[in-house]
Structure 1
Amino acid sequence: MMHWNVYLAGEIHTNWREELKEAADREGLAVRFFSPVTDHAASDACGGHILGAEEQPFWHDRKGAGVNAIRTRPMIEKADVVVVKFGDKYRQWNAAYDAGMASALGKPLIIVHPEEYQHALKEIDAAACAVASEVSQVVEILRYVTRGELV
């Protein structure tokens, strides 16, 4: 049986990744999940902490983005499917970037967001194979694509 590599991009302020992983485990789905560092403070601080502090915010953020990309780029490249969830806290430019990168690499995209984001995310939604409003729908999609089963 093929194991699918699923990259989980997007918002880090809720436990949606854990919910998805637990549901996939309960279903016995042949999937492996990968994700960025979800500790917001660590993700923001990693570049300056490891490579040296920067006085200007641009360079501080640039170092952090570079260090984080060492993790995220290979994971997106190895993914069979990329799931990107947009939440209501902060504007998630990184999630939009991950969706664009996955799309450029030809990765199937599952986008998750509430209905009120449809207009703002219309281009990202257009690149997706599926647009869900609930994480439970992602589990159903993964069940279907990995097993060919509708429940």
Structure 2
Amino acid sequence: MTRIWNVYLSGEIHTDWRAEIQKGCESAGLPVEFSAPVTDHGASDDCGVAIMGEEPNKFWHDHKGAKLNTIRTRSLLGEADIVVVRFGDKYKQWNAAFDAGYAAALGLPLIVMHGDEHQHALKEVDAAALAVIDTPAQVVQILDYVINGKLPA
């Protein structure tokens, strides 16, 4: 029986990097299942008030949403074999940094993906990672190597 690897994809939601990784793994025939936080920005922001009632104060609005999102994040990240965290250009992803720290605290293998412009700001996150890369294709190559011992062609 082939082991199915569970890979948690955390981080920015404004590009299609998750789909690129999933497509690359499918093309390579890798036995991988993916999980991720809710990537619908509006749903993620407003889930708490949509389910538990409106809040006039933005702090409590965000607090309710963060707690509901944490149920998903803790559960799925905790079940992961490997965690990939992508930091994008558009916003500061504090939630992604938290996920990276949480994965490191759990002792989960961590792959961090970002461009050179974030090297300094993410130096502590990078230090906790087992790999720091630039592209989704490199994630696929890492997974192929870890799973099959196969180097890129």
Q: Do the structures match in fold with TM over 0.5?
A: yes
For these two proteins, the number of residue pairs brought into alignment is: 151
Q: 3-state SS of the aligned residue for 2:10?
A: strand
Query: Which amino acid letter does the alignment assign opposite residue 145 of structure 2?
Result: Y
The amino acid across from 1:112 in the alignment is: M
Find the counterpart in structure 1 of residue 134 from structure 2. 133
Equivalent position amino acid for 1:137 in 2: Q
Query: 1:74, 1:41 → 2: CA distance?
Result: 21
1:1-151 counterparts in 2 under 5 A?
1-151=2-152
Per the TM alignment, residue 139 of structure 1 is displaced from its structure 2 partner at its CA by 0.5
Partner deviation per Cα, 1:27-72 (whole Å, 9 max, x = no partner) = 0001110001100011000001100010111110000001111111
**What is the Cα deviation at residue 150 of structure 1?**
0.7
TM-score, normalised relative to structure 2: 0.97
The TM-score normalised by the length of structure 1 is 0.99
**Separation in 1, partners of 2:109, 2:103:** 8
SS in 1 for 2:30: coil
The alignment's C-alpha RMSD in Å is 0.6
Structure 1: unaligned runs, 5 residues or longer: none
Identity percentage of aligned residues: 60
> Distance between the aligned counterparts of 1:94 and 1:118, measured in 2?
17
Distance in 1 (CA, whole Å) between partners of 2:90 and 2:68 is 23
The 4+ residue runs of structure 1 with deviation greater than 2 A are none
